[in-house]
Chains A and B, each alone.
Chain A
């Protein structure tokens, strides 16, 4: 079995099993904890609208705080957007998704995808440096914060190297790229990358709990 075979075969299968099992374990484990009904009389009925409203609007930048958090906002939006473009609209990625899902969608030109991958990589490196140096982030960071960012950097870096055929045989570079993604999958349920799933219930409950008091979350 070559390194590429391993990356495409058992490594992919096991990392996906750990990813899915871990995500379900962590979400269900948190949601299964007890929760008491709020006995105070609501100012107004709150529910789906407040919850979905908070999910949709929580990270919109137009509010009083914006001038103090502009860097985080701009980099946050840019990083997530660049990541989605890179992951979802690169031709070979779409072929991979098609093999799993059975359907496909149009790809973006390689130049655009390469540019977004480079943007995502640059932002992550900048955020990593900021985390290690900004007094607030330095104080509140733990190993998870650094591991998670580094494990996001590696697939981007190895992907760019594989695309550009820099640093070795294409098959080896591709295998390393796949293995870096699988490392990310394995880490995902154990660290803060879980926020990509947990932010939805967190925002939803913020929306409903503030909503019943008549406050926009």
Chain B
């Protein structure tokens, strides 16, 4: 897949049209505000209280944010992005709330509308500021709560709202449902790759995403080759294949739980002990770290990123790789929600090194990695394009400085955003998927 392919052009066209059908919430302004307030109150717990109490307004978090670094617009300071939440906490929840109330103003809807831009367009929830804060404040958790409050108030950007409505109403994304997955499976079968769809029982349930079905079917084929080569008993379910969870991105917890329930129920039904998440950072964070809490129970299965599965099977000796020949040197882009928010740093690197590739790290890497600029749904928001492009330039410079033959990543959303950046700027470093690189170098 490259930027000149018709599928990519068509995908970008569909992104541009997402905002065309704004969803009406049918809520009055008072109702919106009340819903945001009750969401904030429900989400402000001991952990967030400690964070809210501790900020000293030093502003250092700005120096971690790719949007601030790229634009020097002070409104993109992470602490400022969660300022309404902090003020709400002080006035409504904090131990000193009775003292603060007479001297602070109530949260209003205009304020929330203004912050919608800062929280959705100017924040990818990458969490780099979490690593910078000298107090140890989890700012991205504050962003999540802001998004939940805004989602409750019906203030999600139209593009994300459209995607979420589609997932809620028809269990599809970008027009991709069971029929489209079956069509891709039929096409892959013609090229010799069989997808074991809808097995009644399997050890491993493998998920994919609408983006892969529509844009990167070669990633699905690569995943299939890896699973077969490692001797796994696996399946993909046409009823519960979607790993993407718009609820995590928008903050709509009802949508979040609904998506989890589909996957969890299917895994239980077929007796899967493991669920594998494809190359999607937010899908990994959602299922691996958020789903049990959203469902209120521990998961009955293990969740692995495909890169974790690859590294595990390489170590176990069931997957053998040969030296890569098409490219010699690579740099690895840590997807924020897989790495900094998910803890998967070593496994992709172990896979790359198992193919004898010269791994060249960017100046910022692992927990301090720079975001691609388009994560957490940002790349779908049309208004965000100018600052997204500037943030991409930061990333591009770091990638170029490695002088690697290609950049490998483990997230389709990062891949798309890097490809959009490449198309906009004429950047020519190949952007490749980890699982596709591995599948191309399986030892006989």
Contacts and interface: CB of A to CB of B under 8 A. Distances in A.
Interface residues of B, number: 61
B91 to A, nearest CB: 13
Contact of A43 (B134, B293, B343, B368): B343
Interface string B50-85: 110111111110111000110010110101100100
Contact of A33 (B46, B74, B130): B46
Interface string A18-38: 000000011011111111101
B59 A30 contact: no
Nearest to B137: A202
B95 A195 contact: no
Dominant SS among interface residues on chain A: helix
Contacts of A141: 57
Interface in B339-389: 340-343, 345, 363-364, 367-368
Given A72-B58, A198-B53, A206-B130, A39 B135 contact: no
Contact of B47 (A35, A64, A194): A35
Interface string A186-210: 0000101011001101111111011
Interface string A125-153: 00000000011111111100100000000
Contacts of B138: 205-206, 209
Contacts of A192: 55-57
Nearest to A66: B63
A43 B343 CA distance: 8
A207 B95 CA distance: 25
Contact of A217 (B44, B46, B77, B136): B136
Interface stretch (B30-38, B267-275, B296-304, B402-410): B296-304
Given A40-B288, A202-B54, A26 B95 contact: yes
Interface of A: 25-26, 28-36, 38-41, 43, 54, 58-59, 63-65, 68-69, 72, 76, 134-142, 145, 190, 192, 194-195, 198-199, 201-207, 209-210, 213-217
Interface of B: 44-47, 49-51, 53-60, 62-64, 68-69, 72, 74-75, 77, 79-80, 83, 93-96, 99, 130-138, 288-293, 296-299, 302, 340-343, 345, 363-364, 367-368
